[in-house]
Amino acid sequence: MTVRREHWFRRFRAAAYFNMAVFLVWTVAIVLPFPPFSYLPAIIVGGGPGTWFLLAYVLYLAIGSSGFGGLAAFLFVAEEKEGRVLDAATMWLGLILLNAGVIASCILLGLAGALGGYALTINSAGANAVHDILNPYLYPITCTVLIAVAGAALTLLAMIRAKVSAG
């Protein structure tokens, strides 16, 4: 009897490709020469909430694209070179939570930074007004980061507990 292998490295590689495509769209949006996109470089340079936007952008590259690519490489070695079989239920849950958490947290962080940065840099809003814009994003960002961490922990757990295939 042949055991059907899941090939999780392919799914994580697909997530890396997807996230790289989103990152490329995000990059193009930053450099578009017409509003509202043309405000983004000034928001980034303005600092403060613009730093939130820039942090989201860099984190999305590091985790969304490179992170999933790195996980795919580890999974390739585990599955193809070491012959390990990973628990499908744990891997599915890990992949979904990690990807959803990374995407949601980076989008929320970037959106908060763009809106707060626009108010500060373009509209010259005061610190209290900017605080009022950023504050509602704190709890959702925290929750989505925790979702991503749970997904990463489940993926790591599945990788650690993977068994070498008998066949």
Percent of the chain with pLDDT over 70: 96
**Alpha helices for the chain (secondary structure H):** 8-31, 40-46, 49-59, 68-76, 88-117, 127-161
pTM of the model: 0.91
Tally of residues, the chain = 167
- Tens of pLDDT, residues 136-154: 999 999 999 999 999 999 9
Which is nearest to 22 in space by CA: 65, 67, 59, 54?
A: 65
C-alpha 15/C-alpha 59 separation (Å) is: 15
1 confidence band (pLDDT: 50, 70, 90): very low
Backbone angles phi, psi at 7, to 5 degrees: 60, 65
How far is residue 94 from each of residues 43, 83, 144, measured CA to CA in Å? 34, 20, 14
Domain ranges in the chain are: 8-164
Checking if the pLDDT of 59 tops 70, the result is: yes
Q: What is the pLDDT of residue 2?
A: 46
In this prediction, residues 47-67 reach a mean pLDDT of 95
Q: pLDDT by residue (tens digit) across 61-97?
A: 999 989 999 999 999 999 999 999 999 999 999 999 9
